[in-house]
């Protein structure tokens, strides 16, 4: 690893160890002088896109449920997003205290942001006031083994290539359900204890360790000899079970009523992405294949079908492992989409998801982006027959990135033909999107990506921008300048009130229209 990245990583550790407590009022993320204008482009007129994602009885509605918005992992929010009408930007700096970067969010019915925040000292859930980003409550979670391993080796890639614990969800009662680093599934609810005073209260905890090896590195176990298998994420099915997946290929169910755990092993395979759930099944992608699963009468996971894909010859620059970088994305009632990891150009793969099909399961395989400069490690946006894919090739991390010209860039929209005879590229955009989980506002008809431009002084300005119908960049809203505003694999979340929240390397940014 580059010496510069080690120095930055060590400096961050020193700063965190010297940090004081979490302030209630937000301190803005610092940055360099902005040489680019605060707004470029034109005001957007709403152009709603028709359609909807079937509701999930176990998840928060209105696209509020978590990183990928809903059970289909559509990354579509039904409400509005910023239209460029005198936009306001506010940030919360988390770089000098525990719970620094806040990459993953959900939104309660009351508009509060539930953010999963991470630093070198551990994970925590934070409840933040809408737009002001005032801290309302916090709930500590155990640190991940990869964090300690990174500290001992001064290698931040051990953190950046670990997605465990990232995929939590907000259930139908606005309770957070999350798998922690000690193999517990926790249910944690926001509760107002007095006017303006909130807390995050754990109501339930289930131990997965009987089904998941947990000999993990810790301060009391610096030389583990057994297997440590971190839990990647959780989602409920339509019968109320909580499904979970682990990094080393375990897939299981948890019955919240009885605590019963059932699981199977995808031997020799790794799961670093989230998964999707619909009435017709659970869809999981490993670094070898895409699966449709369902639960047997006793909750035992059963494989309905398995579709292997081209995983390429190695991990690409812009990916965290050798395999698909996308959470399976469901389109309507019939299709599921992922990308592969083919060497020259990744391909968008669309499959028929029914258990039995009259023809080939694969609908299309569409090569994307330039030869040798094609990789993605973020979920796609999917709406009706359209799929949006971004190119993350060339991005390492906010700590390790030195050559920003290596970020190849590109966004493509691919449409599935109505007769299912294949798929076509509808448009491409040259916007450079290093790492964001992008979102579509169905109400505005805009796809929100997090893009950058390098200033003459070498610092990057960071922007929100694409028109869903044409791919044209309608406007750019400058959020900040410098590495603190680097998205660094975080998500954009569009709240029902039209506010866009963006996780950054040093905290969280809120963007909204002031009129």
In the predicted model, what is the mean pLDDT of residues 266-272?
A: 96
Is the pLDDT at 424 greater than 80? The verdict is: yes
Q: What is the dihedral of CA 58, 62, 68, 71, to 10 degrees?
A: 30
Alpha-carbon span 396 to 320, nearest angstrom: 9
Which element (helix H / strand E) includes 125?
strand 122-128
Tokens 């001992």 sit on residue? 152
| CA-to-CA separations, 357 to 305, 338, 415, in angstroms, rounded | 11, 19, 21
Token readout for 375 is 């990789």
In percent, how much of the chain has pLDDT > 70?
Answer: 94
> What is the maximum span of the chain, computed from C-alpha positions, in angstroms?
63
Token readout for 101 is 């970067």
Is the pLDDT at 99 greater than 90? The verdict is: no
* Beta bridge mates, 141: 123
Which element (helix H / strand E) includes 12?
helix 3-17
pLDDT bin (cut points 50, 70, 90) of residue 156 is confident
Token readout for 4 is 């510069």
Helix, coil or strand: residue 204:
strand
Is the pLDDT at 443 greater than 80? The verdict is: yes
Alpha-carbon span 8 to 23, nearest angstrom: 24
Which element (helix H / strand E) includes 9?
helix 3-17
DSSP assignment of 244-305 equals: EEETTSEEEEE-TTT--EEEEE-TT----S--EEETTEEEEE-SSEEEEEEE-TTS-EEEEE
Alpha-carbon span 51 to 384, nearest angstrom: 7
State residue 9's pLDDT score.
Answer: 45
144 CB-near residues (< 8 Å, 6+ apart): 123, 159, 162, 164, 165, 181, 230
Cβ pair 125, 115 in contact under 8 A: yes
Helix, coil or strand: residue 13:
helix
Higher-confidence residue: 318 or 78? Answer: 78
Q: What is the pLDDT of residues 157-173, one digit of tens each?
A: 777 777 777 899 999 99
* Beta bridge mates, 495: none
In the predicted model, what is the mean pLDDT of residues 6-21?
A: 46
Token readout for 433 is 């999107």
Alpha-carbon span 422 to 439, nearest angstrom: 25
pLDDT bin (cut points 50, 70, 90) of residue 4 is low
Q: What is the pLDDT of residues 283-311, one digit of tens each?
A: 999 999 999 999 999 999 999 999 999 99
- Give me the sign of the Cα torsion angle 221, 223, 228, 234: positive
Mean pLDDT, the chain, whole residue set:
91
State residue 119's pLDDT score.
Answer: 77
State residue 495's pLDDT score.
Answer: 98
Tokens 């019939």 sit on residue? 334
What domains, with CATH codes, occur in the chain? 3-513 (2.130.10.10)
Q: What is the pLDDT of residues 66-88, one digit of tens each?
A: 999 999 999 999 999 999 999 99
pLDDT bin (cut points 50, 70, 90) of residue 14 is very low
Alpha helices in 113-174 (DSSP H): 145-153, 157-160
**pTM score, whole prediction:** 0.93
Token readout for 188 is 């944690």
State residue 164's pLDDT score.
Answer: 78
Helix, coil or strand: residue 439:
strand
Token readout for 242 is 């909580």
Helix, coil or strand: residue 4:
helix
Burial readout 288-311 (b: 16 or more C-beta within 10 A, e: otherwise): bbbbbbebeeebebeebbeeebeb
Is the pLDDT at 21 greater than 60? The verdict is: no
* Beta bridge mates, 66: 169
Alpha-carbon span 250 to 185, nearest angstrom: 15
Cβ pair 457, 36 in contact under 8 A: no
Alpha-carbon span 479 to 103, nearest angstrom: 16
Task: With CA atoms as reference, report the closest residue to 255 among 304, 193, 301.
Answer: 301
Is the pLDDT at 20 greater than 50? The verdict is: no
Q: What is the pLDDT of residues 192-251, one digit of tens each?
A: 999 889 999 999 999 999 999 998 988 888 899 999 999 999 999 999 999 999 999 999
Burial readout 13-28 (b: 16 or more C-beta within 10 A, e: otherwise): beebeebeeeeeebee
Q: What is the pLDDT of residues 453-471, one digit of tens each?
A: 888 888 888 888 799 999 9
Q: Which of 91-95, 122-126, 149-153, 382-386 has the highest mean pLDDT?
A: 382-386
Cβ pair 346, 315 in contact under 8 A: no
In percent, how much of the chain has pLDDT > 90?
Answer: 76
């Amino acid at each position: 690893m580059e010496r510069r990245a080690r120095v930055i990583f060590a400096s961050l550790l020193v700063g965190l160890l010297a940090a004081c407590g979490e302030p209630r009022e937000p301190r803005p993320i610092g940055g360099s002088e902005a040489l680019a204008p605060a707004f470029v482009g034109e005001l957007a007129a709403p152009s709603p896109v028709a359609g909807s994602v079937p509701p999930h009885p176990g998840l928060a509605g209105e696209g509020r449920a978590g990183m990928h918005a809903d059970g289909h992992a559509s990354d579509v929010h039904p409400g509005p997003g910023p239209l460029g009408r005198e936009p306001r930007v506010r940030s919360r700096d988390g770089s000098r205290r525990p719970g620094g970067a806040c990459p993953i969010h959900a939104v309660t019915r009351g508009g509060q942001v539930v953010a999963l925040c991470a630093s070198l000292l551990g994970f925590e859930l934070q409840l933040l006031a809408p737009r002001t980003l005032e801290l309302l409550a916090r709930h500590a979670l155990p640190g991940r083994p990869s964090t300690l391993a990174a500290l001992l080796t001064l290698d931040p890639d051990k953190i950046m290539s670990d997605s465990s614990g990232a995929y939590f969800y907000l259930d139908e009662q606005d309770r957070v359900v999350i798998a922690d680093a000690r193999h517990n599934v926790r249910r944690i609810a926001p509760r107002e204890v007095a006017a303006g005073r909130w807390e995050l209260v754990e109501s339930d905890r289930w131990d997965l360790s009987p089904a998941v090896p947990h000999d993990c590195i810790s301060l009391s176990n610096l030389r583990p000899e057994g297997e440590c298998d971190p839990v990647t994420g959780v989602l409920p099915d339509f019968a109320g079970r909580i499904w979970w997946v682990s990094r080393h290929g375990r897939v299981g169910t948890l019955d919240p009523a009885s605590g019963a755990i059932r699981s199977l092993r995808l031997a020799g395979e790794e799961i670093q992405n989230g998964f999707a759930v619909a009435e017709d099944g659970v869809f999981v992608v490993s670094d070898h294949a895409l699966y449709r699963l369902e639960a047997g009468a006793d909750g035992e996971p059963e494989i309905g079908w398995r579709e292997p894909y081209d995983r390429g010859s190695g991990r690409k620059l812009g990916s965290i492992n050798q395999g698909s970088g996308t959470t399976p994305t469901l389109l309507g009632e019939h299709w599921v989409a992922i990308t592969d990891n083919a060497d020259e150009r990744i391909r968008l793969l669309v499959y028929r998801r029914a258990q039995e099909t009259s023809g080939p399961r694969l609908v299309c395989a569409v090569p994307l982006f330039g030869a040798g400069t094609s990789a993605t490690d973020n979920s796609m946006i999917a709406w009706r027959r359209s799929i949006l894919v971004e190119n993350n090739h060339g991005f390492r991390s906010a700590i390790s990135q030195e050559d920003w010209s290596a970020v190849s860039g590109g966004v493509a929209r691919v449409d599935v033909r109505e007769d299912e005879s294949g798929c076509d590229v509808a448009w491409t955009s040259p916007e450079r999107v290093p790492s964001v989980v992008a979102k579509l506002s169905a109400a505005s008809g805009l796809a929100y990506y997090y893009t950058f431009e390098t200033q003459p002084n070498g610092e990057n300005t960071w922007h929100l921008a694409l028109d869903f119908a044409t791919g044209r960049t309608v406007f750019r809203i400058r959020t900040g300048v410098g590495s603190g505003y680097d998205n660094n694999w975080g998500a954009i979340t569009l709240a029902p009130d039209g506010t866009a929240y963006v996780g950054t390397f040093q905290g969280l940014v809120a963007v909204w229209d002031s009129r």
